[in-house]
Structure 1
Amino acid sequence: MTVELSPEFFASAFVGHLAEAGAQDLLEVARSWQPDLILHESTEYGGYLAAECLGIPHGALDIAPMAPYAHPVVTEELNRQRGKLGLAPVSDAWHTFRAFRAGVVPEDFYPTDSRLPSARYYQVPAQSAQGALDPDIAQLSTDRPLVLATLGSNATRLPGGAQTLLETIVETLGELPVTGVVALGADRDPRQWDGARPDNVHLTSFVQQELLLRSSDLFITHAGFNGTREALAAGVPMVAVPLFAEQSHNAGRLQQLGVGTRIDVQDVTRNSLAEAARNVLEDRSYRSRAQGLQRRSHALPDLNRLVEDAAALVA
């Protein structure tokens, strides 16, 4: 079933346990290194705490826009960690990002109440390391919509390896008038797949996702942020089946924006998945809204601009 990221768990694990250890390590390194700035990932609070102790500028690269940063229990835990380091409490729930936050999706993706004056937004360059597209995929039929489905690199490590969900996805695509590509996971050899093998569904262990999304009509995804970002940059609407972490929040936001629809794992059947896929494929408004976000993504400055903007914090 879909596991929701609760504010209590986020506060305890990320703002508490991990941040406390990370801050101590960074402060030890800083004694000799003496950094002028700490730029940390948005869910990594150790960098923020260390910078506050050192009295130096700090900012965040936002890798999880929908995490519960502003929840009161998160602020409470943040102040508990600040107290341990002799720092005064803060009342601003967005204090961690107030000086500088670097987003890698358009501002439109963010709910209105989490759009900060300090935020800057960038487009991530295409990954040249992916190489050329798999020739077998390039030769697939072009007379039907192309649907890409993947559950990410961590899905096969889950209890049961998400096998049942993958089987449902493959069987569902086999019943639809589409050309399907299903990435089973980097450690899953498609030759050893013992589930259904519909003629219109290509099974692979790995797919050059960013490349293939450019020519896809629909993305069935677990709504991890990186895949979500890549799909939006390609203007591809989604059917989101969140598994864990903040994926459920990402999926909910996609549905709010009208660029996708959400189905929790426990509600996935061949019928429900087929209905969702047909709806997104046939209702052109999903594609139009996704392409709107794509255009706004393309209007953002390149990620390299982040260096200049971060340096301005020190100046």
Structure 2
Amino acid sequence: MPAHDHLLELMPVAEAAKRCGHDVAVAVSGRFAATVEALGLEHITAGPDWIGDFIDSIDRNVPPEEMDDFTQDFMAEMFCGDPATAMGHDVAEAIENWNPDLVLRDTGELGGYLAAERAGLPHVTVGVVDFNGMMLGSGVVAALDRRRRQFGLPPDPDGRRQYAYGHINMLAPDFVPEELELPNVFTVRVDGVRRGDVLPAWVGELVDDKRPLVYASFGTAASTIPSYGPPLTKVITGMGDVDANVIVSTGKSLDWHGKEIVGGIQVPENVRVAEWVPQGLLMRSIDMLITHGGPATSRQAIVNGVPVVVIPLLFDAFKIADRFEQHGMGVQLDWTSLTPGDVATAATTVLNDPTYQRAARRLQARTLTVQPIDDAAVKFLERIHAENAR
């Protein structure tokens, strides 16, 4: 999909496949060509840039109690809508010209699925989004079947053709055990550290023996939605009353509102605001995370045993926040009524109560029993290819 965070979540598998000697090309809209090529991979221009239009269409705040219905409607309209058809035609052309053996795709990117099905190619999903069973919801399945008809494909009344060949699950099995019920699932762990990642020198200066180090981020996508700026400003303000050194990433995406987020507030002396830091690497040094509950950030917190304060904003983040609370490794706040005082109280509670840290370490240990994504995922893809070779 034409979203920075989704693209980067696919890259560990793509890069590992190339290291193992396979030819890899990445089909994504043209504005990501430089990002793909900087990783040493071939870029194929495919699909429209629909994410920006979606963001512009969110002209109201979606309250938490409406989020499940909003998410299913969004997936049916956007994942299975006209962008999927356009992407499907572009990927079909790429299949004809590039002649791949297998199509690997983000779970929510269905154009590649439609093109692969029509070409008779095996296709594998990577669980970039969490709670991938949502893709089997009735609204999504009905909308996807309409697209299947456009591509001359037979009906798929239960939607399970999406996972017909394989699904790479990046969620900790103990965190979301229902992911293991998806067809043909293969589970890996991801820590989000990219080859060559280095922390900026100023991060080391914030680690001392007097105060814990806290990291706060609402991800790369939330900063593109101006209405989500206020919760982050309340995090910045509230953490000024916490005895901790704090790093806040405003998120630097292609359509960035980070400067607007922090432009009108006084940043406390103990808070360092940055556009971006290598988050997966930073997770190894922090004592607590404040997050919107994004999938990638949550996976990194789990694999590093970091307790959390979760302020869910969109989609599956509310389910993720509930799981963090159920596992005892964090607390959840409501962004619609959030105050700086709420942030300070929650952060102080999690930092001062060792049971949150112990719970995080317990889930971390269970997660570290799962094989890392890298070459394990490639071997999984190789097996699928061997079983379905043309």
What TM-score, normalized by structure 1, do the two folds share? Answer: 0.88
Residue of 195, 209, 221 corresponding to 1:154: 221
2:100 matches 1:29: no
Letter of the structure 2 residue corresponding to residue 50 of structure 1:
A
Q: Is the 8 A contact 1:2 1:265 kept in 2?
A: no
Q: 1:228-278 deviations in whole A, cap 9, x for unaligned? A: 111112111211222334333333333333333322321211222223223
2:367 matches 1:297: yes
Paired residues, what number?
A: 312
Give the % identical residues.
30
User: Which residue pairs with 2:320 in the alignment?
Assistant: 250
Q: Is the 8 A contact 2:163 2:183 kept in 1?
A: no
Alpha carbons of structure 1 residues 90 and 129: separation in structure 2 relative to 1, 3 Å = same
Aligned to 2:116, the other structure's residue is in SS state helix
User: Which residue pairs with 1:229 in the alignment?
Assistant: 299
Higher relative contact order (CA 8 A, sep 6+): 1
User: Which residue pairs with 2:129 in the alignment?
Assistant: 64
Unmatched 5+ stretches in structure 1: none
Q: Is the 8 A contact 1:51 1:58 kept in 2?
A: yes
Q: Is the 8 A contact 1:147 1:220 kept in 2?
A: yes
Aligned to 2:248, the other structure's residue is in SS state strand
2:178 matches 1:112: yes
Q: 1:191-250 deviations in whole A, cap 9, x for unaligned? A: x85522323223333323222211212101122211111111211121122233433333
Letter of the structure 2 residue corresponding to residue 309 of structure 1:
F
Letter of the structure 2 residue corresponding to residue 155 of structure 1:
A
User: Which residue pairs with 2:18 in the alignment?
Assistant: none
CA–CA separation in structure 2 for the residues paired with 1:157 and 1:288: 35
Unmatched 5+ stretches in structure 2: 1-60
Aligned to 2:290, the other structure's residue is in SS state strand
User: Which residue pairs with 1:183 in the alignment?
Assistant: 249
Residue of 283, 289, 310 corresponding to 1:219: 289
Q: 1:126-147 deviations in whole A, cap 9, x for unaligned? A: 223321x233221224312221
Give 1:124-135 correspondences, 5 Å limit: 124=190, 126-131=193-198, 133-135=199-201
User: Which residue pairs with 1:142 in the alignment?
Assistant: 209
CA–CA separation in structure 1 for the residues paired with 2:195 and 2:102: 29
Q: Is the 8 A contact 1:122 1:300 kept in 2?
A: yes
Alpha carbons of structure 1 residues 27 and 175: separation in structure 2 relative to 1, 3 Å = same
Q: Is the 8 A contact 2:236 2:267 kept in 1?
A: yes
User: Which residue pairs with 2:105 in the alignment?
Assistant: 40
User: Which residue pairs with 1:89 in the alignment?
Assistant: 155
What TM-score, normalized by structure 2, do the two folds share? Answer: 0.72
Q: Is the 8 A contact 1:240 1:262 kept in 2?
A: yes
User: Which residue pairs with 1:314 in the alignment?
Assistant: 385
Alpha carbons of structure 1 residues 130 and 194: separation in structure 2 relative to 1, 3 Å = farther
Q: Is the 8 A contact 1:20 1:81 kept in 2?
A: yes
TM-aligned CA deviation for residue 161 of structure 1: 6.6
2:166 matches 1:100: yes
RMSD of the TM alignment (CA)? Answer: 2.5
